[in-house]
Amino acid sequence: MRASFRLLLGVILAVSLALTVSHPSAATPIAPSDEEPRWLWPVATSREILEPFRAPAHAFGAGHRGIDLAAPDGAVRAPADGIVAFRGVVVDRPLLTIEHAGGLVTTFEPLASTLQPGDTVSAGDQVGVVATGGHSPAGVLHLGVRLDGEYINPMILFGGVARAVLLPCCAPL
């Protein structure tokens, strides 16, 4: 009984790790997948991820709760229909938050925008331009996505997360 529990726990951990660790390495361009992505890429001129999503080990642990994208021309568009929930400066960076259907919320930083809370945006609408501030260097956009309040890997919504491959983790019983 105990060995089968360890095997089950190993499988659960392997699947969890595969779902929370982003496959693309830093500075690797992401090619569109064969499957149609659910959301539009927010930067029309580039699909380059400079810093991938890294889930924290626990709610207050270290990690990277989003992806950093190269934004050479600075224009940023809404990846999906939604309503602006927040626009303002937090600490040292301007940001914009959009609420989408299904409990999804996106936050863009640093982003200068003229939109106001309550404004409606459609997928593809320009929502602002990359500004300066925060942890990202000039010309870089940080995009975070929450699902029902929990950060998720944004690449899940763009079709860029590789499928998990389960490998044997334990000695045979």
Task: Give the Å distances, CA to CA, from 53 to 20, 31, 88, 111, 146.
Answer: 8, 17, 24, 19, 12
The mean predicted confidence, pLDDT, of the chain is: 80
Q: Quick one: what percent of the chain has pLDDT higher than 70?
A: 74
Domains annotated for the chain, with CATH where assigned, are: 25-158 (2.70.70.10)
Q: What are phi and psi of 4, to 5 degrees?
A: -70, -35
pLDDT one-digit tens code per residue, 95-125: 999 999 999 999 999 999 999 999 999 999 9
Sign, CA torsion 40/44/47/53? negative
Specify the pTM.
0.71
- What pLDDT score does 109 carry? 96
* Least confident residue range of 79-83, 85-89, 168-172: 168-172
